[in-house]
Structure 1
């Protein structure tokens, strides 16, 4: 082979992408004794467009990795106790529910620090991390079509890495999946989000704040209702993460200057919040949100797709970190079950990942797809906000449904309702 195509390194498993999904998978596999090669296009620390907030569902995944989020953990985790929802002239504070399956608190930590921490944990577990390495596509066996490695651009030029299994955790671009012919599905929800940091007196807040209506009140006599939904998450260090999102079910999707939209909304917020240009930190970042399993199959021919590469963002609320980490854990378990097997038995274990993902989230994401289609209509959204927010009993159910925070067994009346709704729909 030409020198540019010689195998630079080989491993039991290659993980492409060291975000929350990829690093979590690498931690699980390396701890189990597998030789893991973790490839990341950036260098750490690095910025990512995100709300920086984790619900209790995400906190559960941190605990599964053995990460200490207690008050004695050095102050790295800024805890929150619930969600504040603003819309229709109403503001309601909803505490995270007390459940058997999830803790009753969320946390906030900037992705610049969070992703670095997880990647470092993967290295400590035994994974080999290669940064500044941009994977451009898969290497396949000509006879079988199975993936046998990846090709990449590194600081030293083109390189090739070999492994019998590859985990695609390379985000919405999903270059490895595309190279294997796994294209995104247009019948699944897609979102877009932009965010910016500001210094603000709202930095210390016990609640994550969600705005179901975005108002431009720069002209008090002629307020304008803008498309999309917004958030304000205090980071506890004098700064806040502020952003907005929009679903492709909205008529304004793809026709909107999202950065200008963010500025218009913030110009109409109270002056004392400090969300003005002179208090901005850095620019406005944007990213796509692949939702509802918009790229399948999640396993085929030696390639497992996790996180955004597999479209695992929750279509109800745009949450991605928790579900990325969950998919990583499920994929890692399938890979470990395949060890020591051969032939059809090995393939059955690996294919079990796709089945497990369907059982885990398929019906819930089907409901989420229906929900996202409905709220894309502004009139439906306004009516639901006006009628629903004042009814705290109803909002307790809505919180459990939208945040995926319900007990899988027993639980209270709301848990039973959420489970019943899922039984009534087919899987995605």
Structure 2
């Protein structure tokens, strides 16, 4: 019998499969789409994610990232990474590297859709396959999570992400976060002549309209973008539990607060490692506790920032406060890194 059936062949699913293969588990991935899958993403890997990928013997090419910089129309705060560096990596490049590593380990990827999941005390069945456990890595709006009744309502206003690329020489090796009254624009260096710009906002409008709120940033960008706009949202996805019998949620499917702190890939890689360890030990319930511990700092900080962002009188003080308290800003950045 298969030890672990992974539903979803994106970065979280492939990372889970790689961890499982390295742990000598029999693992199969089910993913209906072929080729690298692109989606709205800030495309910045924090140092923790770079180290996690290296631990899986995965090398990705990208632009070195030395730290994080916050800016508004008057203030600037920055913090350099103290341990290692981050990387600006196209999501398709990351996906390809993970897929190649999984293939090298002999992980089969079956092009199929998953309908109804059935499970009992000993096994779980989906897509015509039976396994001891199933990892749901099917994304932000996980159909499996919804099928299992694990979604929870969120009364707060929704937030959305939009991303596109510009063919321009990066002017810094920091990820820049530009703040306006109602949105943030993340600028990530990705290569010799490529930057990614992702806008996070609670308002629905065209990418160009959102970008106009950042005149200093707009002045650095060419008029024509290199890629089309990709969007995602609502971002916040409360989840009742990461474990439902023999089904375990990983990556964005495990719950999501916001992209504001840029930790999505790092959390997916960490969650994958904990999930496989709990499957190997045959202790699925331990995964919920492990995931909560591993994500606690990220969840507290991200939730706090999103709550402050929702209050205009406080949101305008975020960058000035970071500029006045550089040691605290540096501690926060490196705590997440």
TM-score (norm 1): 0.72
Task: Report the equivalent of 1:264.
Answer: 212
Kindly state the Cα deviation for residue 272 of structure 1 after the two structures are TM-superposed.
5.3
Task: Report the equivalent of 1:206.
Answer: 173
Q: Pick the aligned partner of 1:95 from 73, 76, 80.
A: 80
Distance 1:65 1:298 in 2: 24
Residue pairs, 1:305-320, within 5 angstroms: 305-312=249-256, 317-320=261-264
State how many pairs are aligned: 337
Kindly state the Cα deviation for residue 263 of structure 1 after the two structures are TM-superposed.
4.2
Distance 1:317 1:290 in 2: 13
Matched, 1:353 2:248: no
Distance 1:206 1:129 in 2: 36
SS in 2 for 1:15: strand
Structure 1 gaps of 5+ residues are: 1-9, 70-75, 98-102, 152-159, 214-224, 247-252, 339-348, 406-428
Does the Cα contact within 8 Å between 1:90 and 1:389 map onto a contact in 2? Answer: yes
Could you say if the C-alpha distance between residues 55 and 271 of structure 1 is closer, same or farther in structure 2, counting changes exceeding 3 Å? closer
Distance 1:112 1:178 in 2: 27
Kindly state the Cα deviation for residue 207 of structure 1 after the two structures are TM-superposed.
1.1
Residue pairs, 1:59-70, within 5 angstroms: 59-68=50-59
Task: Report the equivalent of 2:228.
Answer: 283
Superimposed CA distance per residue, residues 236-257 of structure 1 (whole angstroms, 9 cap, x where no aligned partner): 23111011113xxxxxx3x522
Q: Pick the aligned partner of 1:370 from 304, 308, 321.
A: 304
Could you say if the C-alpha distance between residues 332 and 290 of structure 1 is closer, same or farther in structure 2, counting changes exceeding 3 Å? farther
Kindly state the Cα deviation for residue 360 of structure 1 after the two structures are TM-superposed.
2.3
Kindly state the Cα deviation for residue 84 of structure 1 after the two structures are TM-superposed.
1.9
Does the Cα contact within 8 Å between 2:62 and 2:190 map onto a contact in 1? Answer: no
Kindly state the Cα deviation for residue 88 of structure 1 after the two structures are TM-superposed.
4.7
Distance 2:102 2:157 in 1: 32
Structure 2 gaps of 5+ residues are: none
Does the Cα contact within 8 Å between 1:36 and 1:126 map onto a contact in 2? Answer: no
Could you say if the C-alpha distance between residues 32 and 388 of structure 1 is closer, same or farther in structure 2, counting changes exceeding 3 Å? closer
Residue pairs, 1:29-428, within 5 angstroms: 29-68=20-59, 76-97=61-82, 103-131=83-111, 133-135=112-114, 137-141=115-119, 144=120, 148-151=124-127, 160-186=128-154, 191-201=159-169, 203=170, 205-213=172-180, 225=181, 227-246=182-201, 253=202, 255-265=203-213, 268-269=215-216, 273-276=220-223, 278=224, 280-288=225-233, 290-291=235-236, 294-312=238-256, 317-338=261-282, 349-362=283-296, 364-400=298-334, 404-405=336-337
Kindly state the Cα deviation for residue 289 of structure 1 after the two structures are TM-superposed.
6.3
Larger radius of gyration: 1
Does the Cα contact within 8 Å between 1:15 and 1:38 map onto a contact in 2? Answer: yes
Distance 1:387 1:272 in 2: 26
Does the Cα contact within 8 Å between 1:78 and 1:235 map onto a contact in 2? Answer: yes
Q: Which has the higher contact order (CA 8 A, sep 6+)?
A: 2
Could you say if the C-alpha distance between residues 258 and 377 of structure 1 is closer, same or farther in structure 2, counting changes exceeding 3 Å? farther
